[in-house]
Amino acid sequence: MAKGKNVLDNSEKETKPHNIPDVDREYLMKIAALAKKLRVKAGYSYESFAIHSSINRNSYFRFEKSALTGDNYTVALLLKVIRGLDITATQFFQQIK
């Protein structure tokens, strides 16, 4: 270990919960639900879609699960999902009601 540097192991890392306002959480849930609907409509299983979109299948599974939980996901992941659906971000977001 370098002098003067404190290194935390994984058990000491502080985790911060995402404090997402309910209105935003509802929107996150709508986004994930729409992505799942469009994926199913395009005929992909969640696993085949993840491969098609170059997304780790576990990451994609958690993304779709956020439709039920409202958990946070990254914009980068969302953009990969939208590209995998072969639509533009504008087309995607116009479908959210």
Q: CATH for 21-94, among 3.30.70.2390, 1.10.260.40, 3.30.930.10, 3.40.50.300?
A: 1.10.260.40
In this prediction, the residues of the chain whose per-residue pLDDT falls under 70 are: 1-20
- pLDDT value, residue 18: 57
- Residues 49, 83 contacting (CB under 8 angstroms): no
Helix (H) / strand (E) element for 85: namely none
CA distance 62 to 60: 5
> What are the extents of the domains in the chain?
21-94
Residue type at 14 in one-letter notation: E
- 45-71 pLDDT, tens digit each: 999 999 999 999 999 999 999 888 878
